[in-house]
Amino acid sequence: MTINVNAAVIYYSSTGNVHALAEAAAEGAEKAGASVRLRKVHEVAPAAAIESNPAWSAHAAGTTDLEEAELEDLEWADAVILGTPTRYGSPASPLQAFIDTPGPLWMQGKLAGKVCTAFTSASTRHGGHERHSAGPGQGLLPLGRHHRAARLHRPDPVRDG
């Protein structure tokens, strides 16, 4: 089945794990026929913090050519795919900062009806699963609910059996 939609894959990744997942999501959408924009969100951590972690520093240096997400990417997209590592079940602060910005689009009704889904990654066994009764990544779904987007949800095998 071929689809004819615009898909924005917008993510945050410090050491590259979520970046790899975002690339896979973008590749899958392209294979299905979507026009895709792969965008990272603006890093908010201080340079000293990034430089203190070799994996973080290497990933930051390796993705300098990747465009940062803008509100125009949300307006352009028919489907929005958000990705982030979890921080106790919530999105990492750089992605949350981006999620907090589309008020002007919402006020104009430009986000209504868009498909919104999310993926997460955690570096620990729990990764915040216990924070939200509905499972990890639930902190991302208010973007879709608040902006009247349709939501895609894949059952969590741990939570849903």
Is this structure's pTM higher than 0.85? Answer: no
Q: Residue 160's pLDDT is what?
A: 42
As a whole-number percent, the residues of the chain with pLDDT over 90 amount to 57
Tokens at 10, concatenated? 């917008």
Say yes or no to pLDDT of 90 above 70: yes
Q: What is the pLDDT of residue 52?
A: 97
Query: What integer best gives the mean pLDDT of the chain?
Result: 82
Report helix, strand or coil for 84. strand
CATH homologous superfamily of 6-132+139-160 equals Flavodoxin domain (3.40.50.360)
* Run of H or E including 53: none
CB 81 within 8 A of CB 7: yes
* Annotated domain spans of the chain: 6-132+139-160
Structure confidence at residue 127 as a pLDDT band (50, 70, 90):
very low
Which residue did the predictor score with more confidence, 146 or 93? Answer: 93
Average pLDDT (34-54) is 97
- Residue 89, token pair as written in the block: 């079940």
DSSP designation for 82: E
In whole angstroms, what is the distance from residue 151 CA to residue 17 CA? 24
